[in-house]
Amino acid sequence: MKPIEKEYELFIGPNHPGATGNMSYHIWVEGDKVKKAETRVGYLHRGFEKLMEKRIWMQNVPLVCRICVPEPDVNEASYSMAVEDLMGWEIPERAKYIRTIILEMARISAHLLTVGGIAASLGIYTAAQWGVGDRDYLLDVFEQITGARVYHIYIWPGGVRWDVPKNTKELLTKVLDYLEKRMPLYEDLIIKNKVFIRRAADVGVIPKDKAIEWGVTGPNLRAAGYQLDFRKLEPYAAYDKIDFEVPYYPKLGEYEVLSDGSDIYTRTAIRMLEMQQSINIIRQALKDMPEGDVLLKHPQWFAWKVPAGYSYVRVESSKGEFGYFVVSDGGKKPVRVHVRGPSYTHGINVMETIAKGLNVADFAPTAISLDVCPPDIER
Amino acid sequence: MVDFFALGEQILVMAFLVTLGYAIGMFFNGFARKITARIHNRVGPPIYQGYIDVFKLFGKKTNISHGWIFDLAALFSIAGITLVFLFLPVAGFSMLSTDGDLFLILYLLAIPALGFALGAGASGNPNAAVGIMRALMTMLAYELPLVMVIVAMMVHYNTTSLAGIVAAQSNMHWAIFLPVFLIGAIVADMALQGMLMEKPFDIPIAPHEIATGPMVEFGGKHLGALMLYKMMGIVVETTLFVDLFLGGGVILSVAQYGWLAYVVNFLVWFGLITFVFFLALLINAVFPRFRIEQALKFYWKYDALVALLILIWIFVEVST
């Protein structure tokens, strides 16, 4: 006799509140337990890597930022740094500080979305709406500095596009003060909320011994107990001149240390702490920022040739290691650009592995807490 | 001989009250969205958004149906919830209220949920199936403490009629002023949170988990009917709470003040149900949702235990 089929299929995405964007999870469920999960991508493929081979070096700057919508600046920074490496350029000191400020602002705005997203996936919509609202104040500052709210196209090979406006310090300080005032509210609502702790602790665990093997990076890795951060390991921009701490498990400051390994709770806690660190970094960078030029004198934009060679540059994004492998044959266009996005490992390998045995109610929070950004899976 | 005039008058009054109930329900929908939006730091839709939504949905053409059970299920729910409303004393005014109606109300309260379940089950969507399973389990969970508190009230007031309980609380002798029923009210308020499907007990409709669950296949007129059921549900459930613990909102005696008492009592009742709903909204805004087994544990371990203590307390009080 054929056994009775008890399994059923659910589609989390592409049109689902629990999906992290234009991607989908196909899950097979038995009772309440997820038996198998498959990540389905392909809703967003624009062929960035191939497109880059067809464009001149400068034309790629407005293209790369599209690879991660919540945090576009890491793409501009790592692409620019790779090109600078090939050119053998050392960018002006002031530009380094401005890059640090921009990257940290982007980190806060991305973390606000993610932490809000995790909260929303568990039902605290208030935190999600606040996150989006508070992020808008940062976007206002971005608009003042760069002229754009989402895709800034501000970090260029050779520095930054132009100097920051004179009132940046006041504007940014005001926003940072406001965000600092809001942090305790987020903490009460999310990380110190007893129901949140019940839902998030020990759910979707990435074991410490597997984390490196699985290619986990960024806050997800630090939540598993590794103190690895490229801002410290391979300092870029002005990070080597700034004093900051990298939060990692089990050093969660005043938050409770609950479980062993990278679970939803710890991943959220690490992101909350990183936001506070980022505020601290921006304050220091604003204070120490030297005067001077912000952009190197370029060769003619359209006839610009980059010496032959290759370079791999990585930065610490809000999601993990974001790297650009750029190959040049000495021509006007790159021969090959490969993007190493953190979401590829987090969204496909890690999620498919840790999803097995999850309660169906915990699937979306786990997926969102890994902070997957679909476009960087489908470059 | 049947007094047709009196009967006609009663039917008219009932029809008026039911219409009013739905109107208040639709208002509550907009009210909830506005309050939630303000907590979220948003502007939010206008307070009359509930009316707009229902009229819009009923004006839509239905293209997809999943059979006659699916078509009738929403009506089943509406009929059920309307019937419950008719059995509730509203501002002290009883419509179909009789002896023993509390049992009937508890029984009838399950009917609209079953209609909802039938419709969602007929849609054949796995999300809806999971949602229905969760909805019925939540119902099972919150009914235990609620029934225990209600039985305690029946014993205390020595009546099985809700109208009797409301009458016993007249002259501001509200049950909530007694310490034992103050605790009872908190227990019942937790159950109300589950009945209203507000967080932390909005498990059946959890959007991030099962994409709004039972409602996922409903659209157009079906969704409109379902929204009406949900809106009336808010009025019915909050009224049940107000009738049990807040004297049904009766502060003036009809015998003494005549029609003025009806108006004042009605306004007080409206104020109280709005307040009870407002509390539910505040809890809803700051809590994540439980997993289903956590909700069961909460209701059966903590809520039911307190309810049991209340029941024992009342039995001891009565027997001594």
Q: What whole-number distance in Å separates Cα of residue A249 and Cα of residue A255? A: 11
**Separation between Cα atoms, residue A365 and residue A196, nearest integer Å:** 11
Domains annotated for chain A, with CATH where assigned, are 59-304+357-378 (1.10.645.10)
CA distances from A85 to A82, A235, A327 (A): 5, 14, 11
CA atoms within 13 A on the CB side of A264: 32
Residue among B200, B209, B286 whose CB faces A361 most closely: B209
Alpha-carbon span B254 to B262, nearest angstrom: 7
Q: What pLDDT does A47 receive?
A: 85
Residues in chain B within 8 Å Cβ distance of A121: 208
Whether the predicted pLDDT of A341 surpasses 90: no
| Facing residue for B206 by CB, picked from A133, A361, A368 | A361
What lies within 8 Å, CB to CB, of B273 at 6+ separation is B24, B235, B238, B239, B241, B242, B249
Using CA atoms, how far apart are residues B275 and B130, in angstroms rounded to an integer?
A: 32
A123, B208: Cβ pair inside 8 Å? yes
Residues comprising chain B, all counted: 320
Whether B210 sits inside 8 A of A362 (CB atoms) is no
Residue of A nearest to B295 (CA): A195
Residue B255, CA atoms < 13 Å, CB-side half-sphere:
3
CA atoms of B219 and A24, how far apart (whole Å): 23
One pLDDT digit (tens) per residue for chain B, 320 residues: 677 887 888 888 888 888 988 999 999 999 999 999 999 988 989 999 989 999 998 888 877 777 778 788 888 888 888 988 888 888 777 777 777 688 888 888 888 888 878 877 787 787 887 888 888 888 888 988 998 998 998 888 888 888 888 888 877 788 788 888 888 889 988 888 888 888 888 888 877 777 777 777 777 888 888 889 889 999 999 998 998 888 877 777 777 777 888 888 888 889 999 999 999 999 998 888 888 888 888 898 888 899 999 888 888 887 77
Q: Of A26, A28, A32, which to mutate for an interface test with B (greatest number of B Cβ within 10 Å)?
A: A32
- Measure the CA–CA gap between B121 and B100, rounded to whole angstroms: 33
Q: Is the pLDDT of residue A181 over 80?
A: yes
- Return the pLDDT at A292: 86
Give the per-residue pLDDT at A35.
Answer: 87
Domain boundaries along the sequence of chain B:
4-319
Chain A residues with CB-CB distance to B202 below 8 A: 123
Distance CA B243, CA B163 (A): 8
Q: In whole angstroms, give the CA distance from residue A102 to residue A96.
A: 10
As a whole number of angstroms, the distance between CA A2 and CA A4 comes to: 6
Q: Residue A199 and residue B288: Cβ atoms within 8 Å?
A: yes
The closest CB to that of A124, out of B42, B288, B291, belongs to B288
Distance from CA of B50 to the nearest CA of A (A): 20
Of B209, B286, B294, the CB nearest to A189: B286
Q: Which tokens go with A367?
A: 């997926």
Q: How high is the ipTM of this complex?
A: 0.82
Q: What is the pLDDT of residue A2?
A: 58
CA distance B42 to chain A (A): 8
pLDDT over 60 (residue A1): no
Chain A nearest-CA residue for B44: A129
For A197-206, the pLDDT digits (tens) are 888 888 888 8
Render pLDDT for A97-113 as a digit per residue (tens, 0 to 9): 999 999 999 999 999 99
CB contact under 8 A, B41 and A130: yes
Give me the pLDDT at residue A179, please. Answer: 92
Residues of A in contact with B200 (CB under 8 A): 123, 195
- Residues above pLDDT 70, as percent of chain B: 99
Res. A302: pLDDT tops 80 = no
- Taking the C-alpha atoms of residue A117 and residue A366, their distance in angstroms, rounded to an integer, is 11
pLDDT of residue A175: 93
- What are the residues of chain A with a beta carbon less than 8 Å away from any beta carbon of chain B? 8-10, 16-18, 29, 32, 119-126, 129-130, 133, 189, 193, 195-196, 198-199, 359-365, 368
Torsion region of A31: left, alpha or beta (phi above 0 gives left; psi -120 to 50 gives alpha): left
pLDDT of residue A108: 93
Using a CB-CB cut-off of 8 Å, the residues of chain B touching A364 are 208-209
CA distance A345 to A352: 10
User: Closest residue of B to A365, CA-based?
Assistant: B208
- Which pair of structure tokens corresponds to residue A27? 């899950």
Q: Are A26 and A359 in contact (CB under 8 A)?
A: no
Give the neighbor-by-neighbor strand order of the sheet with A336-340.
Answer: A309-316, A321-328, A336-340
Q: Using CB atoms, which residue from B208, B285, B292 is nearest to A126? A: B285
For A127, the closest chain B residue by CA position comes to B40
Q: Hey, what are A185's tokens?
A: 């509210």
Tens digit of pLDDT for each residue in A142-179?
A: 999 998 888 988 998 888 888 889 888 899 999 999 99
Residues 6+ apart with CB under 8 A from A154: A73, A76, A102, A145, A146, A148, A160, A161
Helix segments in B124-258, DSSP class H: 126-157, 162-168, 179-195, 207-210, 220-245, 254-257
When pLDDT is cut at 50, 70 and 90, the band that residue A252 belongs to is confident
B225-260 tens-digit pLDDT: 888 988 999 999 999 899 888 887 777 777 777 788
Cα distance between residue A31 and residue A4, in whole Å: 13
CB contact at 8 A, B77 and B112:
yes
